[in-house]
Amino acid sequence: MKKALIVGINYAGTFNRLRGCINDAQNVQKLLQEAYQFDEIKLLLEQDATTLGILEGLKWLTEGAQSNDTLVFFYSGHGSQLPSQLEPDGYEEIICPYDINWVDKVITDQMLHSIFNRLQNDINITLILDCCNSGDALNQAEKLEPIAEVFPILIKPWSNLPKFLPPPEDLQAQHPVQWSVSRDVNVSAILIAACRSDQLSVDAFIDGIYQGASTAAMIKACAKDPGISYEGLVASMTSYMLDNAFYQRPQLEGFRALYSKPFLSSFRIS
């Protein structure tokens, strides 16, 4: 079984509006259907992508998962961070549902970690997050380090929008939240992050439409080689960022032995 939950939020009608996230979601849906023959796909867009809607979608995604299944959670929208006493960098990475209130309507990396950590180790769990601060969103110990380089912070055309939602100032000034985080996430879970945890991801005008730079790079790489490995995919995405002067650097996280596996293949871990 191949099953996917796809979320795209443009936050239309708000001061936090983005323009390419619904396009991202629809483009990834097409990719999974046509190139990877997914059996079941649930699409959550705009007002349907509330905190409860996403959590119920994740429950739907993971319920009944069996050996050799492939599960995908794709998210395109705003990302952010909350202060944390237990994270090494002092921040908890989050994704921002349509109804985010920064207290009980928010989805943290701890929550994602907990949801996917319940599954057995012979299920391919692939998270693809196109948002700011998306690195470290599963709190995994292993990652493919971004290439070493010295480069200026390049600002692309004014029409590009960062996928970052700043927390309220009073929240940032509060005593850090004591999120509980473990490092025992399922060894068959792998994360493709649009950028490092300290970087912004952009919503850009690419090939005639607004879309996330990371999602566009991923789709281009998969169209060229559907059998590309996870490591090869992130390397191709990184090359796209360098070639097009985008500052963000995609990151691959999870069990290092899986990096050479074909994208969205069955892991068959014994």
Q: Which two tokens stand for residue 196?
A: 């490092």
- Catalytic annotation present for 78: yes
How many CA atoms lie within 13 Å of 45's alpha carbon, on the beta-carbon side? 15
- Catalytic annotation present for 195: no
Q: Which of 96, 131, 132, 195 is catalytic?
A: 132
Strand-strand pairing, 143-144 and 251-254: antiparallel
Strand-strand pairing, 189-193 and 143-144: unpaired
CA-wise closest residue to 193 among 182, 201, 185, 204? 201
- Residue 136's alpha-carbon distances to 59, 132, 151, 234, in angstroms, are 22, 11, 23, 15
| Continuous segment of H or E residues that includes residue 25 | helix 21-34
Q: Which of 78, 96, 113, 222 is catalytic?
A: 78
| Catalytic sites, residue numbers | 78, 132
